[in-house]
Chain A
Amino acid sequence: MSTTLFRTIQPNHFTLLTTALLRTRRTSRHISVRCQTSTTTQQSSSQQQQPRTSAPKNHGSNKLDEILKDYEAVIGIETHVQLSTSTKAFCSCPNSYGSHPNTSICPVCMGLPGALPVLSSKVVDFGVRLGLALNCSLSLKSKFDRKQYFYPDLPKGYQISQFDVPIASGGYVDVDIPLEFGGGHRRFGITRVHMEEDAGKLLHSDAGDYSQVDLNRAGVPLLEIVSEPDIRSGVEAAEYGSEMQRIVRYLGVSNGNMQEGSLRCDVNISIRPIGQAEFGTKVEIKNLNAFSAMSRAIDYEITRQALLYNQGQADQIVTETRLWDEGAQKTVTMRKKEGLADYRYFPEPDLPEVILTQEYVDSIRASLPELPEAKRRRYEAMGLGIQDVLFLANDVSVAEYFDEVIGKGADVKSAANWLMSDIAAYLKNEELSISDVKLTPQELAELIAAIKDETISGKIGKQILFELLAKGGTVQGMIKEKDLVQANN
């Protein structure tokens, strides 16, 4: 059967899609906490300049600012989250990233004649979790629909999705804008969260003369989160995206990895003169595989559209899909939309309605972990500065580690400092994540206590810290072994 899978598809008019469809595997996964925040910072700060450099030359920076201040951007984001369920959504194939092409497939996800989908209850479970985490109201009775279009990576000729009755809708998410971008809180509306399946992948030959289909990803469960058009800038968008990533990681519903395509954001953006009520023409931006890219792409697009408005060429802003070209640092037309795409949605007759009982929803609500926003507010209430709060709450494993340390009675401020400075630096250098270190939260608390009661000096504490991080052991043991008790005791 495998021979039928690798049938050659001749190149076609969709070749422009190549970059979007080809998700290259990047093996180096930076899990260091410090690394993540610092890249976000770098990325976000670079957005200040990038669009300006790629804007037409005859506009000086000041003049551009003058133009931009007359316009307001209206941005909505569609986020696709690949769920970390053990199986695909509608069959029992393993949901594993990076397998050899077409090794994780069966009659159902290949769309063979006579095969039928059967919903994995885990998908509903994750949908409810995310819906609750995003403060949505849940549909106790939702259903699946078929979204129909032809493409070789879509085996059935339709995608099983949810159309008019999504599992969750009408929620919101709260974010903290980092201080370097002005700080403050923002609340963005969540229009809906719905369940659907992923498509396969096309692999194009180097010479571009044929393509192959890999269906490993076909049928992998997704949750699509649609935001309200409440977002106004690249920074806000990046922060919204980061919060989605934090939330799905906190919930354990996805690894949220953008490079692997586990978290994908498509941006819808239009601008309008400030004071105008109606929306401008909407442009969609795809191929955003980092929040920094999202931020820069949006700011580029705002500038591009504002200049067109300013030059009296607003009619050149057309409904289209644009790609973010990372190399050129600009958005380019991918395809113009000829009218509205008609997906001919209709209720999926192979699947019964999804019925949730209130007890089920309540039990999931009760099992939800503390979410990033609640953590941030709690840390803030403990007296930590917003920088510390954002750092600690950014990565769920760091936050959990921190919570354990202070749970052992450690001084809050000291614990935060250790985590943010020496430990973070260590993790970055060693390319490790917090869960890899040998130092237990208990011992970090001991260490902090030992320094506080002046059993050891801060300097000695640092020495011990690095040994404990690398090799483990106890603070007391280390003190005894090395006879490190401070002389003045």
Chain B
Amino acid sequence: MLSTLQPPRSLTLLPFRRFHGSKTIASLASSSPTLDASSVSPPQSQILTTRRSLLSGETTASEIAKSYLSRIRLTEPQLKCFLHVSENVLKEAQEIDQRISRGEEVGPLAGVVIGVKDNICTEGMPSTAASRILEHYRPPFDATAVKKIKEMGGIVVGKTNMDEFGMGSTTEASAFQVTANPWDLTRVPGGSSGGSAAAVAANQCMVSLGSDTGGSVRQPASFCGVVGLKPTYGRVSRFGLMAYASSLDVIGCFGSTVADAGMLLHAVSGYDRFDSTSSKQDVPEFESQFLSMDSFESKPLKGVRVGLIRETLEEGVDSGVRSATQEAASHLEALGCLVTEVSLPSFSLGLPAYYVIASSESSSNLSRYDGVRYGNQVMADELNKLYDCSRGQGFGGEVKMRILMGTYALSAGYYDAYYKRAQQVRTLIRKDFKAALDHNDILISPAAPSAAYKIGEKKDDPLAMYAGDIMTVNVNLAGLPAIVLPCGLVEGGPSGLPVGLQMIGAAFDEETLLKVGHIFEQTLNGSGFVPPTLPNVA
């Protein structure tokens, strides 16, 4: 349990704290971690703080909800993280307050304000995957993850913006709006879960759900300076997640701390009989990993074997990112980890294999959007024209491109050369990861080759954008869990741009990732990745 509790950021409603550090990248990671966190106190779990303050009567769920709603009202015009804000937030908060005042039990997420990516179904609330073809679509059921959140008292505050159907790395491919990065409004928040990442960074919600097919949780977490957790494939039910690439898709979690991301993951994890790819593996109680700093020993990660993936620091990676990663490795060493370089020979094969598999599966998964049963239908006097027009006008450019690529890759005569070969590469990547993880407890790498780039910068250069996924896609191909957490800043924007460190674990070993991640985060000198005050926010 956390021993030092501070009022959650949400309750202060003060302008954002400015980041204290200088703009040099080495400022955060010290070679000898000071466990007394001299300058800024380490970030606190908002979920635990909320739980504590609600149960102690210090505040009410309604007050918390109100503060978040007004925060959203203030910041949303610049950020555009949400496609829909729920009308029921206050009502749900009041119900929690009533339960507390009646002395009834409340769930572990009671009063926690949660954003949900728009490709995750929420009953009666618009769920469009940021696509025109599903504009105004309201599903008749909750995704299993959402159902679990609601059962535990969590409040779904709204639906976050994303690249249409998860296809993109900037959230610019949303059919409805472009989300800005809270660290620099002229930059992208990353994608595809850009809305979910930016909303947590800007404190519009405490935690959020995203989805990660090739890095869509981890890369925006890196760009926005928040924690992004991609669980093992099968850990969280995909039921209610609009499929992009079924064999790669996972629902992931964002938080401003490792503890929050971990507790949200715990809430949504577990076998679901409505998803036959969900796993029956036990879900451990992650909360015991989130010890307060007081209880850390001098070398709290003594003996943890960390492999730094050599291929992720080669050319094509920004020097700032490279040194931030190396600093992070030093920090882990200082905490007692044994850091060595490891090589994944198949590393560079992942990206093309990923795009073949993801496009192929998406070309199939998106066939159901035909305008016949739901979604936007363009009337036509002939069936093929109905399909042409409904899909032609309903899908955006990026989606159409991937459907075309996938259709091509699965076509007779090309299947063996593309899809089948990509699956062989996938097996190879799995093997390489397995070998590396046999000798290491976790592997580390940058989360992305660069920090957030400018809006529009890569919009017309899809290959450059795809190349940005190189750090993350292999993890999806192997189905492994990974966490991204801020580890440093590089120059750019009004007060620097965050850079994330990716930690990759063995299948179903989120526990180790959370433990190492939490200690890393709590001991990072000058930690506390809070974006600068948004300009013109009154």
Contact of A350 among B121, B276, B384 (CB under 8 A): B276
Which 4 interchain pairs have the tightest Cβ spacing? A157-B367, A12-B383, A349-B246, A349-B247
Name the prevailing secondary structure of the B interface residues. Answer: loop
State in angstroms the CA–CA spacing of A213 and B373 once bound together. Answer: 9
Docked Cα-Cα span, A150 to B363, in Å, equals 12
Q: Is residue B382 within 8 Å, beta carbon to beta carbon, of the partner chain?
A: yes
- Cα A9 to Cα B372 in complex, Å, equals 8
| Residues of chain B having any CB pair with chain A under 8 Å | 119-121, 127, 129, 134, 137, 139-141, 143, 238-243, 245-247, 273-277, 360-361, 363-364, 366-370, 372-374, 377, 379-384, 386-387, 407, 410-412, 415, 419
Does more than half of chain A's interface fall in helix, strand or loop, or is it mixed?
loop
**Contact indicator B368/A350 (Cβ below 8 Å):** no
Asked whether any CB of chain B lies closer than 8 Å to the CB of A111, the reply is yes
Q: Is the CB of B141 within 8 A of A113?
A: no
Judging by beta carbons under 8 Å apart, are A113 and B129 in contact?
A: yes
- Give residues 10-43 of A contacting B (CB, 8 Å): 10-14
Q: Are A118 and B382 in contact (CB under 8 A)?
A: no
Report if A273 contacts B (CB, 8 A).
Answer: no
Contact present for A116 and B383 (CB under 8 Å): no
Interface contact B373-A4, CB-CB below 8 Å: yes
Other A-B contacts than A9-B372, A13-B383, A349-B247, 16 sampled, CB-CB below 8 A, are: A9-B386, A11-B382, A13-B382, A107-B140, A113-B242, A114-B241, A116-B274, A118-B275, A155-B372, A157-B366, A157-B367, A157-B368, A340-B412, A344-B415, A350-B246, A352-B276
Chain B residue with the shortest CB-CB distance to A108? B274
Q: Are B411 and A344 in contact (CB under 8 A)?
A: yes
Whether A152 contacts B242 in the complex (CB less than 8 A), given A113-B121, A114-B121, A346-B419, comes out as no
Q: Which residues of B contact A113 (CB under 8 A)?
A: 121, 127, 129, 134, 137, 139, 242-243, 368-369
Contacts of A118 in B (CB 8 A): 273-276
Tell me whether A351 and B239 are in contact (CB under 8 A).
Answer: no
B379 touches A350 (CB 8 A): no
Task: Identify the closest chain B residue to A152 (Cβ).
Answer: B372
A10 to B389, CA, bound (A): 13
Q: A1 contacts which chain B residues (CB < 8 A)?
A: 140
Nearest CB of chain A from residue B266's CB, rounded to whole Å: 22
Given A7-B377, A113-B242, CB of A146 within 8 Å of CB of B276 = no
Q: Are A10 and B139 in contact (CB under 8 A)?
A: no
Q: How far is the CA of A119 from the CA of B275 in the complex (A)?
A: 10
Q: Is A342 an interface residue (CB 8 A)?
A: yes
Q: How far is the CB of A164 from chain B (nearest CB, A)?
A: 11
| A10:B380 contact, CB within 8 angstroms | yes
CB <8 Å contact, B276 and A116: yes
Contacts of A11 in B (CB 8 A): 382
Evaluate whether A119 and B370 lie within 8 angstroms (CB atoms) in the complex, with A12-B382, A114-B239 already known. Answer: no
Residue on B with the closest CB to A107? B141
The answer to whether B241 touches A155 (Cβ under 8 A) is: no
Known contacts A10-B381, A10-B383, A118-B274: does B246 contact A148 (CB below 8 Å)?
Answer: no
A116 & B239 in contact (Cβ 8 Å cutoff): yes
- Residues B380 and A116 in contact, CB atoms below 8 Å apart: no
The interface bits of chain A over 337-381 (1 if a CB of B lies within 8 angstroms of the residue's CB, else 0) are: 000101011100111100000000000000000000000000000
Contact A14 B127 (CB under 8 A): no
CA A71 – CA B207 in complex, angstroms? 75
A8 to B372, CA, bound (A): 8
